[in-house]
């Protein structure tokens, strides 16, 4: 376990100090502040609405529900794990934002980003690489800004993915098919866009 913790700290140091650029610091700071769970619900709902051609009403409720479920679970897990943030536990952390007082594991930002973007990836499969790259970007801003370890964002990514898949399964179970305008036909295959 000490080896894993040591690797986590080493990777954090690389992301937080070695793999940085003053030119992108403002972008990373802005993104890490604005793309929390509320920001991801707004971005996700906007994408559901736009890509669903203003017909995917279920997605407008299911995506935020998945993000909120992830946020609630993250809060419970942080209280259970009580892992201090690197900005509280380590010396020489380069902070781009104020260090939150809450615990570190798992990352709520990563959970929200992956819950929203995996949900969208299932609905609009042709865009899945862009959605996942965006989720990785949001997660990466956290150690870059000095407020999370890489293991925190990995745990958040897994939790968010689970929340999205659970939401997709729940929708299929209760409604038996894809929502109109979701980007999927009744067999779960990509709809042809006129």
- For 121-140, what is each residue's pLDDT tens digit? 999 999 999 999 999 999 99
At 23 the pLDDT is: 98
**Considering the chain, what percentage of its residues have pLDDT values greater than 70?**
90
Taking alpha carbons only, the member of 132, 188, 184 closest to residue 160 is 132
Q: Which residues are within 8 A (CB) of 111 and not within 5 positions of it... i.e. 6 or more apart? A: 37, 70, 71, 73, 74, 156, 157, 159, 160, 163
At 193 the pLDDT is: 45
| Nearest-10 crossing angle of helices 150-175, 128-145 | 150
At 194 the pLDDT is: 41
| Nearest-10 crossing angle of helices 2-13, 150-175 | 100
Is 60 exceeded by the pLDDT of residue 54?
A: yes
């Amino acid at each position: 376990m000490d080896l894993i913790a040591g690797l986590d700290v080493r990777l954090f140091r690389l992301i937080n100090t070695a793999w940085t650029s003053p030119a992108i610091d403002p972008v990373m700071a802005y993104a890490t502040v604005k793309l929390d769970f509320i920001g991801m619900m707004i971005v996700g709902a906007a994408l559901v609405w736009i890509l669903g051609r203003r017909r995917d009403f279920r997605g407008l409720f299911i995506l935020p529900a998945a993000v909120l479920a992830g946020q609630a679970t993250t809060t419970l897990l942080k209280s259970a794990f009580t892992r201090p943030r690197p900005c509280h536990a380590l010396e020489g952390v380069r902070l781009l934002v104020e260090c939150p007082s809450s615990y570190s594991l798992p990352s709520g930002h990563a959970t929200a980003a992956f819950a929203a973007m995996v949900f969208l990836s299932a609905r609009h499969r042709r865009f899945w690489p862009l959605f996942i790259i965006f989720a990785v970007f949001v997660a990466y801003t956290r150690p870059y800004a000095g407020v999370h370890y890489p293991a925190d964002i990995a745990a958040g990514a897994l939790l968010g993915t689970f929340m999205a898949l659970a939401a997709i399964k729940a929708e299929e179970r209760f409604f038996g098919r894809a929502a109109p305008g979701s980007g999927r036909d009744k067999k779960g295959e990509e709809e042809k866009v006129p």
